[in-house]
Amino acid sequence: MDAFGAIIMNNKAIPTLKHASFNSDFKHRKEVSIKGLSIFRASLKSTEDTDIYPRLAKNFRSDFFSIILILEGYMDIKINFEDMRVTNGSLLISDLTSVKQVAKFSDNLSIVGLSFTTDFVQHIRYSEKIFRVMELFGYKFHHVWRLTKKEEMMFNSLLEGLEQRQLKVNGHSFGMDLLINGFTDLLYELAEVGNKHHRSSDTNLGRKDELVHGFLQLATRHHMAERHLSFYGDKLHVSTKYLSETVKEITQKTAGEVLDTLDFMEAKRLLDETEIDIGTIAFEMNFGSPAFFSKFFKRMGGLSPRDYRNRYENKQAHFT
């Protein structure tokens, strides 16, 4: 499997929303789809307008990428447990590995978007540059972009054009070629606008980008079992010093901080979504003891695991 196709989900216990299910569950949206690619417009007045909302309201990953333009209203979401409000004129970039949750949306929400799978991108066998754009989404770009009016109009127009091409794909001699061209046009414009939303000031890091991408893949798979940087350095054939410096340069976090963040995200998920006792969580996450786990959790989040779980349960009770 190539680097793009090898993007790995962190923990199978977090549900994965499938592209086919995402396509079929909305009640009130105009949507055109072929296998692995979907362009949609939706105007939603409440969370009851969609059968899929109960699954979006809990932490999930997806087996597809999404690019969603907010035309009107707002969405309150969490990405990797970070609260965000996505307002009109903003673009939401959703990748595979991030843990996502939709808390609520306004009663006038209007969106247009594109979703696609890695299989679709691989199937079209297009320029290697497309794979480079997509490989970097997990750490090169922020998840929410505030667009200028000109950029908003451009993306809306590109998505409208893609809609028309998808509708005509079977009735035109070169329908699929036109669709692929529209798809790649949108991604290239996305990458260009993305330079303003880059997490690093250097946009031509080349080999360093690849190293960080490799580290993030390994960290996503192994962070609970392997917390020593020597494991990742050996796998990537670099020194731990160079690895940590490079990860810091690209992500603004050291390699150790990335591993801590992944552990903290998983700990929060287990405390939020399961009734597993704290001692067992500490054991399952390979901490030396419940006391060490509690110390780690409080250092990362300011609360003990018990206090965090109690606060979460009280918050949930308030909304029921």
Instruction: Determine the pLDDT at residue 317.
Output: 46
Q: What's the CA gap between 80 and 137, in Å, rounded?
A: 14
Question: Does pTM top 0.85 for this prediction?
Answer: no
Nearest to 268 by CA among 241, 210, 308, 320: 308
59-76: pLDDT as tens digits: 887 878 899 999 999 999
Quick check: 70 and 77 in contact, CB under 8 A? no
Instruction: Determine the pLDDT at residue 141.
Output: 60
Domains of the chain: 16-197 (2.60.120.10), 207-318 (1.10.10.60)
Nearest to 270 by CA among 257, 286, 254, 255: 286
Nearest to 168 by CA among 158, 179, 157: 179
Instruction: Determine the pLDDT at residue 3.
Output: 29
Half-sphere exposure of 148 (CA within 13 A, CB side): 7
121 contacts: CB under 8 Å, gap ≥ 6: 4, 130, 131, 134
Which residues does the chain have with pLDDT short of 70? 1-14, 16, 20-33, 45-53, 97, 119, 122-141, 195, 197-206, 312-320
DSSP 175-209: HHHHHHHHHHHHHHHHHHHHGGGBSSS-S--THHH
Quick check: 32 and 38 in contact, CB under 8 A? yes
- Crossing angle between the packed helical segments 255-273 and 207-222, to the nearest 10 degrees: 30
User: Reading across the β-sheet that carries 65-72, which strands appear in turn?
Assistant: 29-34, 37-44, 109-116, 65-72, 90-94, 144-146
